[in-house]
Chains A and B, each alone.
Chain A
């Protein structure tokens, strides 16, 4: 009886030992299946087709081209590799301009044929209509049914997931936003973080350190919404005034808030590394006539460099993944920023802001999961860097 219990408990414990591995597998599994679905979605909104005149040599268009056509940014087929011919766009809601109610029939049952006829008669026309409306024997052709390609997503410079007829899922602006905000956050946090770590581990008395440590822990414990709220109420208006910005919500506001949030991570890990620097090394340096400060920057910091690097990388990880605070203060404009003073939008903020509105299972929904996958991999890579650094450090010290 006793032995069976021992066995059972052992199995139970073993099973729970692997729970984090299982969770990671599940995260990867669920995010991937949803995210990868994006590449099985048609470029044009599901159920809809683009109807072209038979004579038109153009038959395949990218999402960006479709958007440009319907936004009337591109108005001639020659820009798309076709003949020199003006583009006429047709959306379903334009139907009343071309046809009377009688022509369409009381239930719009004739609309399909009418539109097909219209496109047939106008060589430069492209119509965006539900696929079921167009009769099969109509004398028109449908634009090639393509799926969203990875190139369009990973190389796309525009994020416009609600555009019709073709939503744009270019992640470059979001990636750029994430990188900008995190980069500046680390640039701000680094001098503070290292200084405080040095001060706490090398300079401060035990009493001062005993005061600073809880302060840093508390800074770490404040919820990110509170940082976001503080940033929104205090930092955003301040930046608006100082830099004379039209809106204060900007990459800079995000970076400042993130810098404060990433600071505790950097300080804690770096301080730990410096305190672990052997006392005998410090004594050797001091015994040669070096001052404390010389000892710090010539011996302590170099010998705890890998720990400090881990702290910085972890801080970057925290900044990259932070959602709420960034969502609240960066202004969320999905454009590739040209300056840190402009509003921008990060990957996590995009997920948080848009998932609520994206219809489940649609391309937009799946694109947000794809962002989740990308985010997961960025932080996974960051973690692996930290693991690598500390593993190398352990090997060096043993």
Chain B
């Protein structure tokens, strides 16, 4: 079943066309990786799925993006409702300057959940889901800044998952982390795929090959190739893809 569908997406920053005629579909409960050199548009494309690019002045979109067969750019769609459904984890850990508990509870609270018991329960569940519970259960009221970088990023994953989205967007989630923390994040991604559809942008090709079911290669605003990860990394059809994964440019 298709979770996300992009139909002939063109995206502009002012006069600059950042994305050109992109169509793709992302199946439910799979992990899809976007790879490509910096500036190829992969992050821009990812940020269309939760309308994060709405914030950029002068940005303009052509085409349709459907999630659960609904055009998320149709008039009448409320972005806050959409973002409840489509969570996001950013390149650098960005916890709020609040306690660990408040960080995870934030999404529930801003969406109107008042039930304290449920929130406490859900915070625990989310922290367990992010394999962070055992490390922080005794200091839930400590500042999130007291955690290490890797822990902070897992906290951000817990924070995104607490709202129970059906899609999780990850924008190079491990690029600022050390190898051990990176391995933990990758492990998490593999575990979470039962609950959510994950789209991950990464510049690390081993990571893409380890965690994803399907991979899309972007170059200069175009999607060059999109196929099963196995195919992309062993037997790509396009020469550009071949060059990129073998490290001949990028």
Contact = CB atoms under 8 A, between A and B. Distances in A.
A294 B110 contact: yes
Given A284-B156, A303-B96, A290 B90 contact: no
Interface in A210-249: none
Contact of A283 (B90, B97, B110): B90
B15 interface: no
Contacts of A302: 97-98
Main secondary structure, interface of A, reads: helix
A286 B106 CA distance: 11
Interface string B71-102: 00000000111011001101010111110000
A21 interface: no
Interface stretch (B24-32, B49-57, B188-196, B205-213): B49-57
B159 interface: yes
Contact of A289 (B55, B80, B95, B96): B80
B94 A288 contact: no
Contacts of B84: 288-289
A132 interface: no
Contact of B90 (A284, A289, A298): A284
Contact of B96 (A286, A291, A299): A299
Given A280-B94, A284-B94, A289 B81 contact: yes
A290 B97 CA distance: 16
B160 interface: yes
Nearest to B108: A288
A303 B156 CA distance: 17
B80 A281 contact: no
Interface residues of B, number: 26
B246 interface: no
A298 B111 CA distance: 13
Nearest to B50: A287
A285 interface: yes
A299 B97 CA distance: 8
B94 A281 contact: yes
A280 B153 CA distance: 13
A206 interface: yes
Interface string A138-158: 000000000000000000000
B163 interface: yes
A281 B52 contact: no
A288 B90 contact: no
A289 B97 contact: no
Contacts of B156: 284
- Most B CB within 10 A of own CB, among A281, A288, A294: A288
Interface string B137-173: 0000000000000000000100110010000000000
A287 B88 contact: yes
Nearest to B94: A280
Given A287-B50, A287-B52, A280 B80 contact: no
Contacts of B87: 287-288
A57 interface: no
Contacts of B37: none
Interface in A283-317: 283-291, 294, 298-299, 302-303
